[in-house]
Every structure is written in structure tokens, then in C-alpha cells.
Chains A and B, each alone.
Chain A
Amino acid sequence: MDIEAPSYKWVGTRPVRPDGIDKVTGRAMFGADFSLPDMLTGKILRSPHPHARLVSIDVSKAAALRGVKAVATAADIPEIPVDNAFVGDAPTNFRHWSSNVLAREKVLYDGHAVAAVAATSPAIADAALALIEVDYEVLPHVIDVKDAMRDDAPVLHDDLFTAGVEPKPDKPSNVAKRVEFTLGNTEAGFAEADVVVERAFRTKAVHQGYIEPHAVIANTAEDGQSQVWCPSQGHFMIRAACAKLLGIEISQFRVFPAEIGGGFGGKINPYLEPVALLLSRKSGRPVKMVMTRAEVFRATGPTSGAALTVKIGALKDGRIAAAEATLTFEAGAFPGSPVGAGCMTGFAPYDITNVKIVGYDVVSNRPKCCAYRAPGAPIAAYGIESVLDEIAQRLDLDPIDFRLKNAAKEGTKAAYGPQFGKIGCIETLTAAKDHPHYGAPLGPNQGRGVAAGFWFNFAGQASAAVNVNEDGTAIVTYGNPDIGGTRASMAQIAAEVLGIDYDKIRPIVADTSSIGFNDITAGSKTTFTAGLAVHEAAKDVVGQLRERAAKMWDISVDAVVWENGVARPASSNAGDFDPLALADIAAMAGKTGGPISGHASLAATGAGPTFAAHICDVEVDQDTGRITVVRYTAVQDAGRAIHPSYVEGQMQGGVVQGIGWALNEEYIYGSDGRLQNPGFLDYRIPVASDLPMIDTVIVEVPNPNHPYGVRGVGEVPIVPPMAAVTNAVASATGVRMTELPMSPPRLLAALENGS
């Protein structure tokens, strides 16, 4: 695909987002803001045990309570057999999702949903939950990933045998899967190396931490037709999950996207939606369910905690000779940690001949993990970029020069398979090195760290429509929830193609019955994929506008061009006509063939990978172990920034989530297997006063697979920060922290041990 010359009118500008007024005035309707007449309140009973057999659940007393209109357990939804767990080639295991939404036979973590009620008031719903009698046979539990791998560990699933090993094991295990990626021969590489560093690291499970708790309203009519309103990262995915989990046809219901108050991967999986739909079908009334913050922490998210080892060897001249890593990720109660993506991304910024990465996906008695921004990549990068930093130090090389010497470029074969096309790894590292921050002086007790990061970026299915209104304005309809300003980008793309003003375009995120299928808003794919669909749909409109102009002028369509928002004759040979603006053509649509409506449905490929390089300065209080991030610069290849403010915002937000992961965020379990910090008081996400401004540099190495050169931007910013902060702490103190978070007690202990 040819890249259009970068002389854009709208692409690259910073207009106010179309949904902005609603969001600064309180008008915007998020998940919990909807209500319906005659609505019931739904609530969920959750397991207090990390691991127990459900001997019996007696709901009779709850069902008999006045005001209770429906009670549900797993017995009310069809069991999905093992050989029917998947739909098509998608990786989603619906059997596991079903057992996660309402526990079947066993509860597998503190907070696992056991039963649900719908009642006429929240107080009655609470009273009903207290009347449900559950007989638990408490089983031994295992929380830590390393403990879960031991031979004598309590086994969560009797039908789980480690995949990816030969011969196939004959005993069930908590190790769901082993994956391996290799390139060249690492043994030979290490033999040549002048310096080899091997380190082991641990990270803790962290939550996405969106401020909006999960919420839903479901409503079912007597004919079985249902509506579901909810915030999610993909209402088509919620539709698929509800249909599969409840055994109903997709045409029987419609999912409306509420405004979504943050997701970061955590609002991909279904939790409340199938349950609300079930309760609504049982009661015949609308059912609203909203999680408490404690429920969000106990039963949704988080991403994996992990144990990893990294071994890298390099030559004196700074070339990496060989690199190995073993990543062991917590999946939570069901298989499916992002260990594969961790393995694939970790060494991807570098051109290394000999690589071996092994990953293990391990279940334990924790909530089923869910995607979190660049799933898996930050964990791998934390270990790998820490070891790289140590090697650069040992070889007395500048850490950015060392990375540049090994940087991936066009033609580099990545260990996970592909050969890179045009990428911006070198440009990104170079921009970091040239940034004034990199050479700025440091104060006492301060240190500077750098780290790089990689993310694939995803593409996928999208469907969009552009409808031209009779007054010359246009509606852009697409199907990806707007979490961070994508409506603006869609309007900019349509304005660019149509040549009309941004303000004349209204972008709408449509419900599942009003537009074709769209994949989830995840994987940094929306501006690329939905943007491509909008671009194609707008081009479809341009084709129709040319046809209408040709009709109005009675000349051949080939003789009409569309330029700067008007139709013109292609040359004087075509005839002498005054240009027709979009509004002129729209006004005559009824006489020239009816409504002007462009559509595009596509399965996009070619999302360009993106690279990031971060510089972090910290100050360490040597007496208390407190770390303060005092300066931070994030450099990233965006391909082409459609709306630079929102690209910067993604970078800043990702960085700060990474800083939280590095410094203070962690799931803390007691010896009883219960989560001890299910709230924002003790699950410590960064607050405004913890942080400096986050400087950003957008590098633009256009993606050749996109008309404007767009690459995904949302995820890679969370990849480098944990290593960048760790490397900065090492620079300030001489101590390399191999365990996250680097909370004050941990750092002070390490400072005193000098390790």
C-alpha cells in the first residue's frame, strides 16, 4: 500500500473529541448510569474460600424471601463440554469462562462467584445472599506460582494435562502449557560470549485498576428478545459470550455499548453480563448489577505475577551473542496467562542470532487472569532489560548505544517467527539518546535508567459505515467502544477522506445489531483496524459522490475527481462544470439514486509493530527505601499519530501504570488464601502527587500497511517502565532489585543487604 503524502488537513491535528462535552458535564452514560423502570438489583454470592468443593447449594430460603424475583447458580446454565469449548479458531475457552462466571463443582479462588440473586432492592438482595446455604468442602489451596508447580501441590483441575510436552503427561498438573521459541544455538553463543549475566526475577499480580467497576443492565421480553447495556472492550465479544454461555442464539439479543470507564484489557472477559441476562430471563424484569470495588479486585483482572530467569551473553564489542529466558506466569484459576506474548516480545527489540525462550502457564487459586495492556510483555521486559542494563554496565557501554548496536531493523528475524518489515526501533532509541533528558545532570541520591520495549499491535475484523446526511454532514458508525478518544480519530480519518470539516462529522459507536461484527478494543488495534474500515467506508462514499456528480453533469464517472471536498471534472476535456461540494450532492441524493451510504467490512492485517525507549530518573531515600520518580521521558514510534494529544495520553498513562507496577502495586494474599487488599487504600495505584510530568516524544516511522502509516500506540508504553525504574534505582544505589514491587520495605532490606 502506498503511503499518502503527509500533507493532511485533519490527520495529525488535535481537535476536541466529539464526546467531550458529555464527559465534562456529567452527561455521558457509563455502565452504572443506566436505569430502567421496574428494574431489579442483582447481586452475587462469592466464595470466601480459595479452593473448595461445592457439596451443595441450597437457595430455597433465598428464593422464598419476599422481594426476591430470581436466584441462579451454575445449574441454570448449560455445561460446556471440553470438546465444544472453543468457537472457530479464537483462543477463548468458553468452558472455563462458564465456570468462572458461576462456579461449577469447585470454587477456585477467594471471590469466585457461586450464586446470584435478583431482588426488588439492594437490601433485599443482600438479605437473600445471606440466606443461600452453601456446603463447602474446603480443599488445600496454592497461591504462589512456584508452589503450584510442585509435585505435591493441590491440583486445581483433574482434566488439565500439561500441553506442549512430549510424551503427553499421564498425571494432571497445574502447569497448563509449556511454550518454546528458539533461534540459532544459544549454547554455542554463550561459549563465545565475553560476559554472561544470569538473574532470577519475581513480579506480583497487578490489577488493571480502571476506576469504573463492572456494571450491566439486562432486560428480556416475553418473546425472549433481550437487550444488554454494559461497558466493555467489545460488545460483540460480550454478545458471543452471553450466547455461548447461556446457549441462546445471537439474534435473540442486542448489546449496547455504554461509555466505558477504563479497561486496559480487564473488560474483555464477561463477568456480570451473562448472569444479569440469566436473572432477567428468569425474572422477566430488567436486572441491574454493579460490582463493588472489592468484587472488582477479588474476581476480575488481574494480570499474572511471574517468576523468570534471564541469561544473556555479550561480546566485548557490545554484540549480544546469546540470550535465554524462562518465564513462568500465574494464569489464575484457569489456564490462559499471557506467557506466550511475554516470550514473543521480550527479545523482539533486538537482532540476536541465538535465542531460546521457554514459557509456562500455571494455574493457582487466584482470580482468572485477564489481559492487561501489552499482556505479558512488561514482565518479560522487566527481566530482560534489567539484565541488558547490567551487561552494558559490565562492558562499560552506554546503555542506549549497547541497545542500538543490537537493535532490530527491517529484515531482522525475530525469535518468535516473523521477519520485520519497516520498523522504528533504531529511530526510537536514537531519539531517546538525543533527548536533553538523557544528558541532564543528576542530583544527590538520584539515578537514571533506560529500557526499551516492543509490542506487536493487533489487527482483526472491523465493520464501519459512513452515511451522508441530506445537509452535507455525515455520520460515521463503527463498532469499537471508545475508551480513550478514538471517536475523534475516526472523525479525523473520515474528514480527511471526504474533505469536509471535522465538525461536520458525528462518529457513533453502534450496538451489535446496528453494524457488522467488530473485534474487541484491545491489542492497540482500534485506530488501525476500525480506522481502516472507516477509511474504506469513506472512500466508498467518495466513489458514490463521484458517481452522483457524474450523473448530475451527465458525464462519465471516470471523468470526475474528488479533491478537497468537491467533485470536479477531471480535466477541461470532461466538460466545464462548477465544482460540486459534498453538501450540493447530498441535497440532490433523492434524485440521483437515493441515500449516499458507504460501507466497509474487513479483516485487517499488517498492524505495524511498535517500539518504545524510556528514560527514568529516580531519587532514593536511603534511610527509608522510598523511591520517587523525579523525571520521566517516553519515546515511541506511533507510525503516524492521528490525534497526537491522545497518543501522548496513551504514552503517559501507560508509563504511570508501569511505575505503579514497579513501585507499590501488588496482590497481597494471607496464608488463608484470601486477598488482603481489595481496595484502593491498600492496592496502591499512583496518585497525582507521586509523579512528575511525563515527557513524550512521538517518533513517526510510517507503517507501510496503512494509508496514513498508523501503528498501534496504546500498549507499548507500559512495557519499559518497570525495567527503566529498576535500572534507575540501580544507578542511584548500586543495588539491582530483582523483585517487584520495589516497595519501601523491600528496597530498604535490599539496601542493607547490599544485594
Chain B
Amino acid sequence: MIKDHVSTTINGEPVEFLCDPRQTLLDVLRDELNLTGSKEGCSSGDCGACSVMLDGRVVCSCLVLGAEAEGREVETIEGMAQGETLHPLQRVFLEEAALQCGICTPGFLVAAKALLDRNPDPTETEVRYWLAGNLCRCTGYDKIVRSVLDAAAEMRGK
């Protein structure tokens, strides 16, 4: 199998990698680049655990080929905190116990940040529908939705 050479940007840094054309962006992140914060829950776009930003849009990285990252900007959970400073969503998730097992958490955070970047004052219903593609089996979503609303309020207050 001839591998493709891909030049891309991940979390603001230029990155080059070789990938099998069949590998997904999620495979590349996890297996080639050791960025294992994006999780594989289903491999069919149904759970959202692999959510990343691709050119400013939240996508399931399991439904993107690694080769498609050529020349594009990828942001993952690993790039969300700035140094030692957590993003307000990350901090509020912790303060309000919005995670139990934590496997879905990176995907929720990436998707929720995409929402707040676009809509700083979402309603509960908007949060719920925006996050409908992120499955959580532990929390019943209550504390996740509250945390997103509370983080949004805090960010607006700044």
C-alpha cells in the first residue's frame, strides 16, 4: 500500500504525516500522532466521541479520511486548554460534575465550544439539539447541558 503524504495544521502547529488512504483522520490522530484524546465509540458517526474541528466546523473525525486533512486546520481536545489554563467549558464541566466515566467528555467539549464560538447565548433547547450527536450514557445529559449554559453565561460576563 502506497501511503499519502499529508501536510496539515493541528492545534495551530504544522504537522506532516504519512497515512494509508483508507485511514480516517481519527486513525491518524490516535495511531500515527498519539493524540488519543479523541475517542472511537462507534466508527460510524453516531456517537460524537471523535469530534474535532476541521476548518472551523465540528465533525466526526471517524468520517473524515486522513488524506482530507491536507492543507486544512484541525483542532482537537488536546488544543483546548491554553497552557495550564483550562477553557471555561473544561473548568465548568469539572466544577459541576458534568462527567462520570469521561469517555464522551472530549467530544462534548469540542462540540460545545463550537456552539459557543458561534452562539454565545444559546437556549437549553439549542444546546440539546446541537449536542444530540454526542452520546453520553452516564449522566443523562442534565449536568452537561447545565455546564454548557453556565459556561456560556460566564463567558458572556467577561
Contact = CB atoms under 8 A, between A and B. Distances in A.
Verify whether A and B have any Cβ pair under 8 Å.
yes
Nearest to A687: B132
B139 A264 contact: no
A656 B135 contact: no
Interface in B113-135: 124-125, 127-129, 131-135
Contact of B77 (A25, A650, A654): A25
Contacts of B99: 20, 23-24
Interface in B25-47: 30-31, 34-44, 46-47
Given A485-B97, A646-B97, A213 B105 contact: no
A522 B155 CA distance: 39
B104 interface: yes
Among B90, B132, B135, B138, which residue has the most Cβ atoms of chain A within 10 A?
B138
B74 interface: no
A26 B103 CA distance: 9
A13 to B, nearest CB: 12
A283 interface: no
B154 interface: no
Contact of B37 (A26, A261, A654, A657): A26
Interface string B124-158: 11011101111111111111111000000000000
B96 interface: yes
Interface in A666-720: 679-681, 685-689, 691, 693-694
A688 B128 contact: yes
Contact of A656 (B127, B133, B140): B140
Interface string B78-89: 101100001000
Contact of A261 (B93, B102, B141): B102
Interface in B1-49: 1, 20, 30-31, 34-44, 46-47, 49
Interface string A246-282: 0000000000000111111000000000000000000
A672 to B, nearest CB: 22
A26 B78 contact: yes
A243 interface: no
Contacts of B47: 211, 293, 680
A25 B97 contact: no
B63 interface: no
A653 interface: yes
Interface residues of A, number: 59
Interface stretch (A27-35, A196-204, A350-358, A497-505): A27-35
Nearest to B134: A688
Contact of B86 (A24, A208, A209): A24
A694 B97 contact: no
B129 A211 contact: no
Contact of B44 (A30, A32, A33, A293): A293
A688 to B, nearest CB: 4
A212 B41 contact: yes
A209 B43 CA distance: 15
A24 B94 contact: yes
B141 A656 contact: yes
B67 interface: no
Contact of B105 (A23, A32, A654): A23
A423 to B, nearest CB: 26
B100 A483 contact: yes
A406 interface: no
Given A681-B44, A691-B128, A23 B95 contact: no
Q: Is the interface of A mostly helix, strand, loop or mixed?
A: loop
Given A16-B94, A685-B135, A211 B41 contact: yes
Interface string A646-668: 10111011111100000000000
Contacts of B77: 25-26
B122 to A, nearest CB: 12
Contacts of A19: 102
B143 A649 contact: yes
A483 B137 CA distance: 12
A212 B101 contact: yes
Contact of B96 (A259, A645, A688, A691): A645
Contacts of B134: 688
Nearest to A679: B44
B138 to A, nearest CB: 5
A212 B132 contact: no
A14 B97 contact: yes
A693 B142 contact: yes
B140 A25 contact: no
Nearest to B49: A211
A211 B134 CA distance: 10
Contact of A25 (B38, B80, B129): B80
A473 interface: no
Contacts of B128: 688-689, 691
B132 to A, nearest CB: 4
A657 B105 contact: no
A691 B135 contact: no
A688 B132 contact: yes
Contacts of B135: 211, 680, 685, 687
Contacts of B143: 645, 648-649, 652
Contacts of A24: 86, 90-91, 93-94, 99, 102, 105-106, 109
Given A211-B39, A656-B141, A679-B46, A645 B109 contact: no
A260 B80 CA distance: 23
A210 B137 contact: yes
B61 interface: no
Interface in A620-652: 643, 645-646, 648-650, 652
25 contacts: A21-B86, A23-B102, A25-B78, A25-B81, A25-B86, A26-B35, A26-B36, A26-B106, A29-B36, A32-B30, A35-B31, A211-B104, A212-B39, A212-B101, A212-B103, A261-B41, A262-B138, A293-B47, A485-B100, A648-B143, A649-B140, A649-B143, A652-B143, A680-B47, A685-B137
Given A212-B39, A688-B134, 9 more contacts: A26-B77, A26-B106, A263-B101, A483-B138, A652-B142, A654-B140, A655-B140, A680-B135, A688-B128
